[in-house]
Amino acid sequence: MSSVAPAAAKGARVAGKANAGSDRSDLMLDVQGLKTYFYTEDGVVKAVDGVDLKVKRGETVGIVGESGCGKSVTSLSIMRLVGAPGKIVEGRIIFDGTNLLELPEKEMTQIRGNRISMVFQQPTTCLNPVFKIGDQIAEVLNIHQSLGKEAGWKRAIELLRMVGIPEPQKRVHAYPHEISGGQAQRVMIAMALACAPELLIADEPTTALDVTIQAQILDLMRDLRDKTGTSIMLITHDLGVIAEMCERVVVMYAGQVVEEADVYTLFARPLHPYTQGLIGSIPVLGKVREHLDVIPGTVPNLLNPPPGCRFEPRCQACQGAARERCKVETPPLREVEPNHWVRCWMYEK
Amino acid sequence: MVQVKSLVKYFPIRGGILQRTVAQVKAVDDVSFNIKRGETLGLVGESGCGKTTVGRTLLRLIPATSGKVIFEGRDVFSLTGPDLKAIRRDMQIIFQDPYSSLDPRMPIGESVGEGLLVHGMRDSKKRNDIVMEMLKRVGLEDYHARRYPHEFSGGQRQRIGIARALALRPKFIVCDEPVSALDVSIQSQVLNLLKDLQREFGLTYLFIAHNLSVVEHISDRVGVMYLGKMVELTDRETLFRDPLHPYTKALLSAIPIPDPTIKRERIILQGEVPSPINPPSGCRFHPRCPVAIDRCKVDDPPFEELKPGHLVACHVAKQQVEEEKRLMA
């Protein structure tokens, strides 16, 4: 399909580009070769280093990885919310046909919170403590839909009812400290959905919550997705949440995408050694094993990542001569079977 | 080995100019259980259910309001002076947050060896030998002993915490959420280490966690807590295969399983955990319980053995078990 030499196409998709033009209409988001670096006193931290990512309309895509793999920075980059010392140095973020990175800030403001909105991990710190919940939801509606105060509050009550807050006409007057973490996350979701966004980015939306509350929130998100048809990009470290919510999964490691597949394929036949290790290392309810699989060592420091494959120092997949290449050359993300992308030299034909 | 009898811990809330007690947080309210030698008892529950308070009061890190803890035949709460010091040597704790539980100004070798010094090992060479041995056992190197906590990753710090707890050769360790702050790939390293050490040193664990999959992996028996009460306690297989308490059932069904082919009937609990300052009357779970009957509102169910080795506090479960028995007979 492609004649590009792998070394030249480092970090880019090698195959499957030919039909990219024809299905553009059903692509909601297309991130291409995104690089976001942080210029710290100690040096340049390559937090996101060549990430490609696609979200189709109405699709739920999961991004999974451990802390420091760049999943949150990727989402902040899409929203253009990366602050100093961080900077997007390369790449394109095509949202519904427009490259967000080329938009002036004023136009970006019209997209942010309106057409793309975000739900964060810590709901209580994301709400302003000195304003009532109703004010905060109405503010979003005022900015993007020029709704007046009265109409905004009315709509806020409707939204709170939609996300399952009991007695919304009373709770709308509450301040953030008066509500629990689970309720605060519902308020965040109500706020994010206020303008019926086309894309919702949820960054660890249930990590800070207890399991029974997590089940409520996931249920709510599924319900709203089915009703509104919003595309969702769900960022999490919990493979259980991924299995339950997503259609397609992107696995990230040390600032790069290492594997991408539909959720069934990924759990049934993970190909990248990191994905295999990750799936093997979690205890699964109802399947007790004497020992869990272990990925030895720790995540590399992104100030000074390994020169070749970033997973090589922890990889247990192969030994000897086959390994030499991994040490010096970064493998490209390639399509090893239809719609299954892997960044590993093992699958080089 | 450890017997906990009717343990109660109330935290007073003081208010007004005279700082009088205006209310009490009933963190742990009449909890009883035993831990056998060499086993791991898991303790699960959501935030605020009192599981951490149980761990801390039974080590006497915080004083209990009432109740008794018997450790190897000795009453922990009535011990004083040298007896208390001796028993503390046998009971250690591993904390949740590996970042705040190490002194940032102390090389980790000293942190690990500090307990030995407190317990009278003056000989610094001997102390050093034990520290090195422990560090090696948890997967760290000799030269790490001179480094400071900020130079280590979260997983390594948790290993240091484990080495510190092990240095005194305790018999019993309370593991308070030892892996919840860690990434999954590091979590499995620490869980495997804890299991290996248990076998090697014949340790007994009280393993406190909110993650049921982790608890299932490591425990022999599991206790489930809700709002300061133990609601179910039995061996691991029974609890996960055949739970009796409706809260346990809901908790189990709420956990996302990392397998997209499994589609389950999910019990989604309504509402949230009520405040332990003013817990509901009768059974504390009744306002959220999907199967509650009128009796649950007024009558607090006793924590009793419904099947051999299976303790439950629930009126409905008791009726069901009795019904089953009648049918069997």
Sequential DSSP letters for A226-283: HHH--EEEEEES-HHHHHHH-SEEEEEETTEEEEEEEHHHHHHS--SHHHHHHHHHS-
Q: Which of B263, B259, B184, B187 is nearest to A266 (CA)?
A: B259
A180 touches chain B (CB under 8 A): yes
Buried b vs exposed e over A79-91: b needs ≥16 C-beta within 10 Å? bbebeeebebeeb
The residues in A 185-214 lying below 8 A from B, measured between CB atoms, are 210-214
B-interface mutation test, from A64, A221, A253, A294, most B Cβ less than 10 A away: A294
- Interface A–B counts its CB contacts (< 8 A) at 123
- pLDDT interval class at A349 (50, 70, 90): low
Q: Hey, are the CB atoms on B256 and A263 less than 8 Å from each other?
A: no
B254 touches chain A (CB under 8 A): yes
Sequential DSSP letters for B133-195: HHHHHTT--GGGGGS-GGGS-HHHHHHHHHHHHHTT--SEEEEESTTTTS-HHHHHHHHHHHH
Average pLDDT, chain B: 90
**pLDDT at res. A62:** 96
Chain B residue closest to A296 (CA)?
B189
Q: Which one of 3.30.70.380, 3.40.50.970, 3.40.50.300, 3.30.1370.100 gives the CATH number of domain A4-115+195-261?
A: 3.40.50.300
Q: Hey, are the CB atoms on B272 and A292 less than 8 Å from each other?
A: no
The angle at the Cα of A268, spanning A267 to A272, to the nearest 5 degrees, equals: 65
- pTM comes to 0.85
Nearest to A298 among B46, B153, B272 (CB): B153
What residue type is assigned to position A56 of the chain? Answer: K
pLDDT tens-digit map of B223-238: 999 999 999 999 999 9
Nearest to B192 among A213, A285, A292 (CB): A292
pLDDT tens-digit map of A121-170: 888 888 999 999 999 999 999 999 998 999 999 999 999 988 888 889 99
A323 touches chain B (CB under 8 A): no
Beta carbons of A143 and A191 less than 8 angstroms apart:
no
- pLDDT interval class at A2 (50, 70, 90): very low
Distance CA A260, CA A49 (A): 16
pLDDT tens-digit map of B196-219: 999 999 999 999 998 899 999 999
B35 touches chain A (CB under 8 A): no
What residue type is assigned to position A172 of the chain? Answer: V
A261 touches chain B (CB under 8 A): no
B191 touches chain A (CB under 8 A): yes
**pLDDT at res. A302:** 87
Distance CA B278, CA B115 (A): 40
Sequential DSSP letters for A158-207: HHHHHTT-SSHHHHTT--GGGS-HHHHHHHHHHHHHTT--SEEEEESTTT
Q: Where are the alpha helices (H) located in chain B, listed in sequence order?
A: 51-58, 81-90, 108-118, 124-137, 154-166, 184-201, 212-218, 236-241, 246-254, 294-298, 315-328
Is the pLDDT score of A237 beyond 50? yes
Distance CA A50, CA A73 (A): 12
pLDDT tens-digit map of B296-328: 999 999 999 999 999 999 999 999 999 999 998
Please report, for chain A, the start and end positions of each structural domain, with discontinuous segments joined by +: 4-115+195-261
